[in-house]
Amino acid sequence: MWHEFLPSTTPGHRVLQYSVIWSNEDGGTDTPALMSRWGRTTDIEWVYRTEIDAHGRSVPGTGVYQAPDHQTLPFAGSYEGGRPLLETCTSNNNMCDRVDDPMRFSLSPEQTLPAGQPREHMMDVNAWTYPVMAQEMIREGKIESPGDPSTVEVGDQRNYLCIAVAHSAVPAADTGSVGLSIGVRLRGDDTLYRSDHGVPTSSVNRDGTAATTVELPPGTAAGDIAEITALRTPVTETGAALHVTAVTRAFLLGRDYLPQASFAGWNGDITLTPAAPSAVLWKPVVKQQG
């Protein structure tokens, strides 16, 4: 769990939002799409918001929660020690404010999401969440064995490049129509491995910094990667351009399923258009001899 502050329409006020990472979801987005569109098989949802006044106090009557079908509803439940009581009540981790279980899990919301980082950053700084995520996939029989990057099925999660890329669509209204995919080429291999597996609806179709993954052949190491490419991926062709401005991290999981060190980063401004739909974002630096 973590907190972050959002803008309020009331001058001098802020909105305090709490979010939770679940190890997986049994409904909602399917497993291959979770990896392609969100870069993980955990489920991340905001659960509760309240308005905070200039003195840091919660404004009575402003509490809302994420209810079934992703509705935002006024909180009408009970509080214990100032904390709202909420219960997971759907297969995709939406909440109910009527609690019928005596068990209590009081997670610390002390951590916060830095500005400009995707929500998956909270997994990166709590690295133990990655092996928990992977072990649940194995336990539930959701892992293709042997893994095959040519299929959409999820293979061993240690075979994936985990990458976060910042981009925006112009015009912004077309964000959902024209997505971004990431391609990877390996040394001595002409194959373009794609985050969307060639399925446009599995591209990243939200502005800002977003995480995705690219499945690679088993045993691939960071040093095998020859280039990382941005790919304009229209779901519905509108002619929109994509501005790609950063790669904020790129890593593989180790044998223990923990994130290895990020080996790639990039900042710039590349425009992808129907006429120029792809561009290389990163190549390894070649050291000069002598």
pLDDT at 288 over 70: no
The verdict on 138 and 163 lying in the same domain is no
The verdict on 184 and 85 lying in the same domain is no
pLDDT class of 289 with cuts at 50, 70, 90 = low
Last residue of a domain, one of 83, 113, 142: 142
The verdict on 125 and 165 lying in the same domain is no
Cβ contacts of 107 within 8 Å, gap of 6 or more: 1, 20
The verdict on 164 and 270 lying in the same domain is yes
The verdict on 138 and 186 lying in the same domain is no
Predicted model pTM = 0.93
From CA 74, how far away is CA 91, in angstroms rounded? 21
Q: What pLDDT was estimated at residue 290?
A: 59
Task: Tell whether 203 is covered by a domain.
Answer: yes
How many folded domains does the chain comprise? 2
Using an 8 Å Cβ cutoff, are 216 and 184 in contact? yes
Q: What pLDDT was estimated at residue 235?
A: 97
Query: Distance of CA 278 to CAs 25, 129, 170, 264, Å?
Result: 33, 33, 16, 18
Q: What is the CATH number of the domain that holds 231?
A: 2.60.60.20
Residue type, position 5, single letter? F
pLDDT in tens, 40-74: 999 999 999 999 999 999 999 999 999 999 999 99
The verdict on 267 and 207 lying in the same domain is yes
Q: Among 81-90, 265-274, 280-289, name the one with the lowest average pLDDT.
A: 280-289
% the chain with pLDDT above 90: 95
